[in-house]
Chains A and B, each alone.
Chain A
Amino acid sequence: EDQVTQSPEALRLQEGESSSLNCSYTVSGLRGLFWYRQDPGKGPEFLFTLYSAGEEKEKERLKATLTKKESFLHITAPKPEDSATYLCAALGSGNTGKLIFGQGTTLQVKP
Chain B
Amino acid sequence: DTAVSQTPKYLVTQMGNDKSIKCEQNLGHDTMYWYKQDSKKFLKIMFSYNNKELIINETVPNRFSPKSPDKAHLNLHINSLELGDSAVYFCASSEAGTNQPQHFGDGTRLSIL
Do A and B make up one complex?
A: no
